[in-house]
Amino acid sequence: MIPKIILGKGPRATRRLIGYLYGPGSANEHTDPHLVASWNGFAPDPGRSPRRNPRDVEDQLAAQLDQPVQMLGDKAPTTTVWHCPVRAAPEDPILTDAQWADIARRIVAAAGIAPEGDDEACRWVAVRHADDHIHIAATLVRQDGRRPRRDHDIRAVQREARTIEADLGLRRLNPGDGTAAKRPTSKEHFKAKRQGQQATSREILRTRVRRAVAATSTEAEFFAVLEATGVNVRPKVGPSGDILGYSVALPGDLNKHGEPVWFSGSTLAGDLSLPKIRHRLGDTTAPEPASVRPADPWHLATAATDRIPHHLTRDDDHVAQGQLVALGGALDLLPLTAPAAARRELEHAAALFERATRSRATADLDSARVLRRSVQTILRTPTATGDGTGLAMLLDAALIAVAFARHWHRQRQNAQQEAAARQTLVHLQTAYTQVTAPVLNDLVSRAPGIPIKERYARHLQQAIPEHADRILKDPAWDALAAVLANAETTGHNPATLIDQALGQRPLDDARNPARALTWRIHRLGQRHAPSPRAQAAMARSTTRRHIAPVHPAASTQLVVPKPQARRR
């Protein structure tokens, strides 16, 4: 059940609202509008007065609601109307008028509009014109002339809605923390439906602005990218000539006066205001040491994503929040690099994870600079997309990172963010399967012969006996053997590569250890191969590491190749 508070002002605000509630709606969606409850139980009902002109009854109802406001004259508040639509979930049963009346009374009491038993409270009505929701309209002057005490009414109404859901057996929504982006209004949804759009203009613009922020490093680039993606941009310029903010609109999205419908950045989302964007872009301008820039940006992005679980398991919430913001930015841009088959699932994943990037912790954005820059490099380098292996590697790391993000939010009781991360995993897993299937099939077709695979199998049984059986029975085993063979032909030691891949991260939290090792070893195998002397030193270190801690009963089963044999 979703309540939403909207405030209104102006001399005819109440009359306009009553006219809308009893009118046909912007898409003729209002059917049988009528009162289900009111402040006194016998307010005039334009929908149940067949012998009178409905317009006259609407005038009468609006006048009665406005009477306490009019009594104050010039001392009346500027904002006079409190409007709260309350909508049930699509899967909820259709509630009766009596049930909706009870819900309305509980909502106005929780908000401080009309506390229970207070005969001098504000005047209000609840109008039902559809099966799944009501509208509560109230005026913000009590009948004794005082103002209502509605401090934190948004949170209070949300808490009461969660209680109502439990009492009536309705779908239970997760409690929020006030960090979510503003939802599109019902009018916006109906308009999008009329225009044949799957998303509202607000949602489309939010996605494009988020992508522009993730893809750019300067304010000038940000505005240029927005315009390049078909967004109309209107800067807000102060008296000094400085840009103080901005608004965006979609071409062809017009209001009833034929004017563009503009949205300021802050109304799209709190972190999309110009000051917040400047802060985020400002953390990407510092020079980065050349030593941390490998040739392949996919490898850099994957390595940075691999480190996110480590950051999320530490006690620094600011660093963790910065990592979540960077991961969200990466997911925003990945659909632009993906094959058509996986693009839609990645777009859904990015849209859902947007909610998981928000919490009350201040983000340390500097800690995630490597991930942001590497994904930007991928986007700007047409040849970086390659054969899909890079995207497969990055998605494998992103799946684990999102799973850790879900756990991080659960620990902090961020229910909406946890749910968003959980839903993200579903779409991300589907996209991962779509991306990796052709890549794995190609690798499987290049798998080495049985003797070589048996040699690699012995390395696995020695290094990870707890996972070796699953890996060897997995269809991705041939793909893993192929990348090991390819790395070996370029001078790498397969056993050493396996050890290095395991050292990056244990396989305990990997859904598919064979595929996880495939991407890790592919990345390691493309690095410059060590010299024979270095390989011998690593082999001796590996031998000592394996022999020392092994249980005596198992040590006789381990076959450690001699360093001399590994140089072949």
351-398 pLDDT per residue, tens: 999 999 988 888 888 888 999 999 999 988 866 556 788 999 999 999
Which region among 140-154, 158-172, 333-347, 369-383 has the lowest average model confidence (pLDDT)? Answer: 369-383
Q: Could you tell me how far CA 342 lies from the centroid of its own chain? A: 18
Residues shown for the chain: 568
- Tokens 């092994």 found at: 550
Which region among 65-69, 260-264, 517-521, 540-544 has the lowest average model confidence (pLDDT)? Answer: 540-544
Would you say 463 and 499 are in contact if contact means Cβ atoms under 8 Å apart? yes
Digit-coded pLDDT (tens) for 271-329: 899 999 998 887 555 555 444 445 689 989 999 999 999 999 988 999 999 999 999 99
Digit-coded pLDDT (tens) for 328-355: 999 999 999 899 999 999 999 999 999 9
C-alpha angle 137/140/145, rounded to 5°? 135
Give the pLDDT of residue 529: 60
Report the distance separating Cα 3 and Cα 107, nearest Å: 9
Does the pLDDT at position 66 exceed 90? yes
Report the distance separating Cα 135 and Cα 327, nearest Å: 39
Give the pLDDT of residue 247: 96
For the chain, give the percent of residues with pLDDT over 70.
Answer: 89
Q: What is the mean pLDDT of residues 213-232?
A: 94
Does the pLDDT at position 506 exceed 80? no
For the chain, give the percent of residues with pLDDT over 90.
Answer: 62
Q: How confident is the model at residue 438 (pLDDT cuts 50, 70, 90)?
A: very high
Contacts of 141 (CB under 8 A, 6+ apart): 68, 69, 71, 72, 76, 77, 80, 122, 147, 148
Give the pLDDT of residue 71: 94
Q: What is the mean pLDDT of the chain?
A: 86
Token pair, residue 392, equals 């497969």
Which region among 49-58, 191-200, 543-552 has the lowest average model confidence (pLDDT)? Answer: 543-552
Q: What is the pTM of this model?
A: 0.73
Instruction: Give, for 428, the enclosing helix (H) or strand (E).
Output: helix 415-445
Amino acid sitting at position 40: N
Which of 165-174, 188-197, 205-214 is the most confident on average? 205-214
Digit-coded pLDDT (tens) for 389-423: 899 999 999 999 999 999 999 999 898 899 999 99
Does the pLDDT at position 511 exceed 60? yes
Give the pLDDT of residue 430: 95
Contacts of 150 (CB under 8 A, 6+ apart): 82, 111, 112, 113, 140
Token pair, residue 435, equals 């991306």
